[in-house]
Structure 1
Amino acid sequence: MFLHTAGIISFLASFKFLEEWETEISSSFGGHYQFLTIIGLALALCTFTVGLIADITLSPSLFQAKNYLAVCSTPLEVLISILFWGLCAIDKDLVFPPDSELSFLPNFGFHAAPGLFLTLDLLLFSPPWTIDGFATVALSQTIAFLYWFWVEYCYTQNGWYPYPIFDILNTWQRAALFAFSAFLMTGSTMLLKWLYGKANGLEHFQAEAIGVLTTARAKAE
């Protein structure tokens, strides 16, 4: 309950920051939900809110619902953290629109805290994930390409992309980027599954995760 409450406070603080942060994007079609970061943050908030209600009511159905949501939100937030901090290490102008760069604390709240909270919830307070390799790949590809379609639709309404990197890439390069992101999300799911097995002494979880990653790498090569 403490972890879920702390996470909800953090996520709401980030949304409050958004309400007070006036930019061109905030008044455009799709608003801040053009950013994968904000979609992930909303999903993380939904996951922890259901989790907190389950803590209070001790409802098995709500606990199960929280765990289903976490299968989507936790790997997605890990992916967001990897992509954001990785691209920032290369060039911050790839992810920040002009005059929209954030200071460290808001950046941490948007791009690190959700992944940390959700990962702690998974490793310490959640039952084992039952999602298999095929379902992981299908879920990752579905999320990646749904977001791509959403971004392209917003582009038709606004005439610009939320992330500068999308303007640099042509259509096929953007498709490759989203396909790579789906692969990374699959990898983050299996990494989380491996960590869960390591933290909770479930060796078959570690073996399954390694097997899926090995197969995915072989297909990619």
Structure 2
Amino acid sequence: MPPKPSQRVAPPNQYPPDAMPKIGRIIFHIGTAAAMFDGFWGLQNTTITKEYIGNQYGGHFQYLTILGLFGTIITMMMSGICDYLPAVQGLKPLKRIFLLFALPVELVISSIYWGIILLKPELMLPPNPVLASSSEPSSSGAEDPLFRIPLLMDLSMHALPAVALIIDFFFLERKYKPPASTFGALALAATFGTAYSLWVEHCASINGSFPYPFLTIMNPQQRIMMYAGSTIMAWLVFRGLNAIHK
């Protein structure tokens, strides 16, 4: 049967009109997930991993950055699958749960990380393991006493996740409605905040220090305030973003 005049038929070897946005979404979601994982994978070959983090209890997963990073990677991968298989209805609600968790967490991570890096980097970055293991003073002042990862790797783990999630939320997702935007967001923030605080305290009790130097110099009361403040901040960030989402 010939097509009706109102129907648009794609020419041979050309995508139908509604396919290009779908392809763009897939490229965005899978591409950002790949870039973030590439940053983490590159971290495995650094001196700090081989001589410091790799020998500690909890490894990379004692770091909030890495936990948030993998939460974002899972969110982006699930988004890509939803783009490719829109008929699989069960994946979409699950993806939105991961987004509800990852979005505020990543914004808090980026805010704290870049704020400390710009103002007091020694409170965020560990000592340079090459200099720390040397018993002789350096003859040159060029060596950085702090360990810094390459800029692109740094951006892929501490900036790209937040940017990608903001783009996904505002341009490719609808806003959250109650109870997800009220009880759900608060419950996720409180659960993850409590779980991470217990986990990082447990790791520190075995390793003798916290993964982040600023936590090591805090007393228990200050750390509790830090954990609680970060959790509340994550919840408020989500509430603000969801409020301005149209």
TM-score normalised per structure 1:
0.84
Runs of 5+ unmatched residues, structure 2 = 1-25, 129-146
Write the distance in 2 (CA, Å) between the matches of 1:62 and 1:143.
22
- Residues 137 and 68 of structure 1, relative CA distance in 2, 3 Å threshold: closer
Q: Does 1:96 align with 2:125?
A: yes
When structure 1 is superposed on structure 2, of 99-108 and 62-71 the one drifting more is: 99-108
Write the distance in 2 (CA, Å) between the matches of 1:22 and 1:60.
44
- Matched with 1:29 is 57
Deviations for 1:150-186, whole angstroms, at most 9, x for unmatched residues?
Answer: 0111112211110000111000000001111012101
Which structure is larger by alpha-carbon Rg, 1 or 2? 2
Structure 2 counterparts to residues 1-221 of structure 1, below 5 A: 1-23=26-48, 24-58=52-86, 59-99=88-128, 100-130=147-177, 131-197=180-246
Question: Aligned pairs, how many?
Answer: 197
Write the distance in 2 (CA, Å) between the matches of 1:93 and 1:47.
32
Structure (1 or 2) with the greater helix fraction: 1
Write the distance in 1 (CA, Å) between the matches of 2:112 and 2:148.
16
3-state SS of 1:169 partner: coil
TM-score normalised per structure 2:
0.76
1:102 is aligned with what amino acid?
Answer: I
Give the deviation of 1:133 after TM superposition. Answer: 3.0
Contact 1:123–1:195 (Cα < 8 Å) also in 2: no
Give the deviation of 1:26 after TM superposition. Answer: 2.1
Contact 1:3–1:121 (Cα < 8 Å) also in 2: no
Write the distance in 1 (CA, Å) between the matches of 2:112 and 2:244.
20
Give the deviation of 1:109 after TM superposition. Answer: 1.0
When structure 1 is superposed on structure 2, of 60-69 and 115-124 the one drifting more is: 60-69
3-state SS of 1:161 partner: coil
Write the distance in 1 (CA, Å) between the matches of 2:164 and 2:224.
30
Runs of 5+ unmatched residues, structure 1 = 198-221
Calculate percent identity across the aligned residue pairs.
Answer: 27
Write the distance in 1 (CA, Å) between the matches of 2:63 and 2:169.
25
**CA RMSD between the two structures:** 1.4
Deviations for 1:5-58, whole angstroms, at most 9, x for unmatched residues?
Answer: 221121121121122124201221110111100000011111111111121121
Deviations for 1:94-143, whole angstroms, at most 9, x for unmatched residues?
Answer: 11111122232222111110011111111111122122334333322221
Write the distance in 1 (CA, Å) between the matches of 2:193 and 2:46.
27
